[in-house]
A and B are shown apart, each in its own frame.
Chain A
Amino acid sequence: MTVGLFSYPSKMEGSRLPEEMLLGDKKIGLMALERALDFSDRVISVVSSGEQAEAMRAIAQGKGAAMDSKVVDDMNSVPAVISAILDMCDDSFLLAMPSSSPYVSADILGLMLELLENRDGVFLRNKGGSIYDFLFGIKVEPARSLLKKHVDLASVSDLLERLPRTLAISWDAASALDPLHFSYFMVSTDTDFRTAQRLLRRVMK
């Protein structure tokens, strides 16, 4: 099983990268990477710029891990993003999460992996209904075949609809399993970062 990290274009002031921001004494990108390494030795990433690729590579090297990255110019192009990460993946399963998720729950990821045994995909939706920037796991081969047939995929939701055997877990349902919504939190803006700091204080308590 491979874990794929998605690095979205930064919306933070001064073009700071969320992955490089310190939460406590740890970079957010490192927190995500450590969680990914809990599940697989093979971590790959799709990023939106060379700078982001370099930042993720440095974080991985600091951890003693190798990480292949691919730069995708248009992170809004779902087929391009998913294809890029599937191209790098040489396993049967891919678990995808944002590289700026500091608190993703190991329990939730474990449950997703277990569910993937009998399905082509498991998708966790965020509060707004989108599943693009949050967690999903897919079987690599069915997803590759689907992407070859449907180059017009508009969202990961399309993937969810078109893969035959999938399970989507709504924000509401998943909240019952992860009441603090940690698994659904990624840092993309300065406001997100301030919220992450508040959450960190809550976690520390």
Chain B
Amino acid sequence: MMNRLTDPLQLFGVKYDGMVSPGVDLAELVFSVCRKSKHPLRNGDIVVLTHKVVAKAEGCQVPLGEVVPSGLAKAIAEKINKAPELVEVILRHSRRLIRIQGHHLITQSDAGIVCANSGVDQSNVDGGKSVVFVPEDPDRIAAKYARRFRKLGVKVGVVITDTLGRPFRIGEVNFAIGCYGLNPLNDLRGKKDLTGRRLRIKRIAVADEIAAAAELVTASSSEGVVAAVITGYQFKPSNKGASTLQRPFPEDLFV
């Protein structure tokens, strides 16, 4: 065997100068920006969309002025020093309230994701007057966009991401909350390592790693990067969604 480099993996940000509004065809938008650039989308690419952009396109936005907070929302808002209207939107999109501590409200969203505020977000919306929330079924949305790309002529994997905090480390990292077209979890259990030892634990969260890599180009959302395109990654096609990455509650050591 010859010592050599692996094949390259490329990552591009898809920059869009306009504001994404409800009803915008994100697949068409990403496809046309890529087509006009030097890197048109190709079969086997992965398109990574931020949840903020997806939420705006899917109309998952609510003006806080139209929200009437419940008693629970008011009580929690006082505890964590947030606007009751914001807390109400968070509650409406939560299945579980897990922890209220300091300024933090840790929840499980309707989509099953354990995170702060169920992913309800004020940044980069309209200066704080409105918030966006995560669509109830991001895997279904990812599948919808994958089908749309297919109609446009390319077979790509689609990952929808959100930036989440981590309990044991400082800083936020992008995770996959929706996925279609690629296997989100590469299960290596039962395979052998370089020394012949059989792997018992190893499962690589491919969709999360793709999401984290994509944030290197989408992080500066104020610069209008609405998506990332990853090209050159050999993935296993699959219809499994990012929901397969959620650890069931009975197996969770911390919640």
Interface of A toward B, CB cutoff 8 Å: 107, 110-111, 114-115, 118, 166-170, 172-174, 176-177
Contact = CB atoms under 8 A, between A and B. Distances in A.
Interface string B48-76: 00000000000000000000001110011
Given A172-B100, A176-B76, A177-B76, A166 B95 contact: yes
B94 interface: yes
Nearest to A178: B75
B96 A177 contact: no
Contacts of B71: 107, 110-111, 114
A167 B94 contact: yes
Given A167-B94, A173-B98, A176-B101, 7 more contacts: A114-B71, A167-B91, A167-B95, A170-B96, A170-B99, A172-B100, A173-B97
A111 B75 contact: yes
Contact of A111 (B70, B96, B101): B70
A118 B95 CA distance: 12
B166 interface: no
Nearest to B106: A173
Interface of B: 70-72, 75-76, 79, 91-92, 94-101, 255
Contact of B79 (A111, A118, A176): A176
Contact of B97 (A114, A118, A168): A168
A154 B43 CA distance: 46
A135 to B, nearest CB: 13
A75 B50 CA distance: 48
Nearest to B108: A168
Contacts of A114: 70-72
A172 B72 contact: no
Contacts of B100: 172-173, 176
A168 B95 contact: yes
A115 B79 contact: no
B120 to A, nearest CB: 15
Contacts of A111: 70-72, 75
Contacts of B70: 111, 114-115
7 tightest CB-CB pairs across the interface, nearest first?
Answer: A173-B97, A176-B100, A168-B96, A111-B72, A169-B97, A173-B100, A111-B71
A176 B97 CA distance: 11
5 contacts: A110-B71, A172-B100, A172-B101, A173-B98, A177-B76
B224 to A, nearest CB: 35
A71 to B, nearest CB: 31
Nearest to A175: B100
A39 to B, nearest CB: 14
Contacts of B75: 111, 177
Contact of A167 (B96, B99, B101, B255): B96
Nearest to B80: A176
A107 B94 CA distance: 21
Contacts of B99: 170, 172-173
B150 to A, nearest CB: 30
A149 to B, nearest CB: 20
A180 to B, nearest CB: 15
A169 B106 CA distance: 11
A114 B92 CA distance: 12
A169 B99 CA distance: 9
Contacts of A169: 96-97
A122 to B, nearest CB: 9
Contacts of A173: 97-100
A118 B98 contact: no
Nearest to B91: A167
B71 to A, nearest CB: 5
A156 to B, nearest CB: 14
Contacts of A170: 96-99, 255
